[in-house]
A = this chain, B = another copy of it.
Amino acid sequence: MDAHESAERIAEVFADFQSYFSKEQDLREEIRSTVRELEQTAREIHAVLQKVHQKDGSENVVNVCKSTESNFETARKQFKELSAKIPENQYYRFNDHWKYALQKLSFLSALVTYLKTEKLVSREETAAMIGVKLRQAEGFHMDLDDYLIGLLQMASELSRLAVNSVTAGDFHRPMRIAKFVAELDAGFRLLNLKNDALRKRFDGLKYDLKKVEEVVYDLSIRGLKPVEGT
């Protein structure tokens, strides 16, 4: 192989590599574009749910929740589209692109579920509401971390709802929220978390719990705390 041949061969090989990089670049562009749509859907659900913080909405929680159903339908369709774009075995390669949107939708499904039933959404229910699988082996799925971060975001929104419920004249709801957030806190304390994003988010839970407890304290001290069973 003389000098000329060797240079030519290297050039050819690298041209192949460039075509590989170009394809990856294009794929990332497509993923980003679908994720942007998902984020828009999440923002719209969140904007609708803001109504529960105001008097009108807080008295009509069921209808507010109902009006997000078509948006969740859209989210499920968008996750299906996204899922179709990801090459087999490469979920974790591109994971960073949709991680934030997935956590936000996990949060929103936990919030809607609490508002409707005052119970903790399960992983299974969250996965079903947003249209992803539960386990890696099944395909495009939601990691346990993402589900748990969604719960922590819900706790933060609920502490704000406790405050605004008082404003709306509802003194029962803050009591129930306080109990629920305390249970959630007890649950998280069972976990031995690594020093990662989830742990950092969990560190904020104590402030949400404190806030809710202060609301209950304010009601108690002013004799506004409802008698249980009323």
Contact = CB atoms under 8 A, between A and B. Distances in A.
A218 interface: yes
A81 interface: no
Interface in A146-204: 148, 160, 163-164, 166-167, 169, 179-180, 182-194
B29 A166 contact: no
A220 to B, nearest CB: 5
Interface string A1-43: 1010011011101110110111001000100000010011001
Interface string A203-224: 0000000100111111111101
A119 interface: yes
A225 interface: yes
A3 B179 contact: yes
B122 A164 contact: no
Copies of this chain: 4
Given A11-B187, A13-B122, A219 B221 contact: yes
B120 A13 contact: yes
Interface in A104-136: 119-120, 122, 136
Contacts of A7: 183, 186
Given A20-B144, A221-B224, A190 B90 contact: no
Interface of A: 1, 3, 6-7, 9-11, 13-15, 17-18, 20-22, 25, 29, 36, 39-40, 43-44, 46-47, 50, 53-54, 56, 87-93, 95, 119-120, 122, 136-137, 144, 148, 160, 163-164, 166-167, 169, 179-180, 182-194, 210, 213-222, 224-225
